[in-house]
Structure 1
């Protein structure tokens, strides 16, 4: 498979923080939207982009919680958005477009993980609907503002969790197979990575580039609230006392370290002219060859992305399916 999955190298690494990767970058005059920008790595992303001079908009399902989380960030705008509600997505986009502003940076950081089976109003499985389809619809509706920027970047927060499942096109919403929370999560994270591939292919002529990122394992963001303590401990994410493990070389990161790759993709001049790639540790990830897949799956420390998560044919198919599902 022809791919651009080759590390630069960037000079950054697993322990780099969001502040490290944005040092010296001035975002004055730029406009950024960060979904999930009021908790976890989304909150840190919003903070760092704002500190670099960007105008930052944070869409939120829970407005009061967002206001409390962002109270120390003057100038950050908060608007209502529920990624499980198509009408809410349209309303948010219409409100933003009415301001007439271009959109230079869109970071799709909001997400859910390993939740019990639930469906949105259209009958779509909730992890696929929230993590992928909601963001797909948001990008489509905000497209005029992205094009107007004359050089925009869309960052899809994926995960090494893509290893749990490819996109199962024959049964996206677990209508004919038993529901497994991590398989559903993995499918949605693969969808995030594929989305960046096809979005970049379609958008580059208009100056819109796209990237997918693996933040690392950051256990204290609240994302794992549906995961049992035994599973978290078995994954090595907490120690025997239940405290988060911090070992960035093995992908166990702090929130500032977890936000680094997304911020790097959103703002770094090192990525000028590039796009459609999956990134981690603030660099482009290498492609894992089929011969090395078993070894890659066995550990947590080796960087890389599996072929099915960046396959251009699967990415194009997913785009067409997503268009139909979101009308």
Structure 2
């Protein structure tokens, strides 16, 4: 493995491992989907600041989701998941920290609730601790910043596409007109000027929270405990665990259902995790093959002399 992407050691010192000495604390995103209202302000702010091209207004059937997934022209994707599931008594939006709204009654004085709910979540590059895209990039176009994030250098990318298959989340993509890889940079240029990323600044409900990763983890743990205390047993953290298949994410989420419901892999594993062991086995096999070949050659030579 290259020194750009260590697969062992202190998880949050990835910047030092990449050669950044005296670097700032690792930063990232904590996205609390329980307060996302699907306004798409993050999508608009991301496109505006980073000059990401407009990618069409296909409403994908009956959904308000007009992007469908992350891609070269969608660095932020707000998912809309409609479920045939009543909120039920005591599980209204106000209980999740969301804005409440009045619904017409049935004349009995009881509140009428709808028979479905929307799950909304703003997805983004995870800026993994163990980033497969870094491992497979042959040109060094992808690099780890001093903030612990992962960025693509457009002037170095040759469009080979190895990083696309190296991402366990299917985040990174190549832009059609030039084939170069594109994804969220966590607004690297803004971080250098002491500013927060455009998407987090634009989020009106603070669903997208930016900050030092350790502090965000504490906030996430407290929010999860709060929701569990309110009876929202299905609430869970995704990408928070440093012992998962990518060593924990630099952008992690609080979800209100299984990850698959949001289009996220349940158990992401960086594809290059076993690469060192594979190379060792391949080397041992090659050495054994070469030794066998030498042995056969020596044996045939001795036989010919006889």
Q: Which of the two has higher C-alpha Rg?
A: 2
TM-score normalized by the length of structure 2: 0.25
TM-score normalized by the length of structure 1: 0.24
User: As a proportion of its length, which structure holds more helix?
Assistant: 1
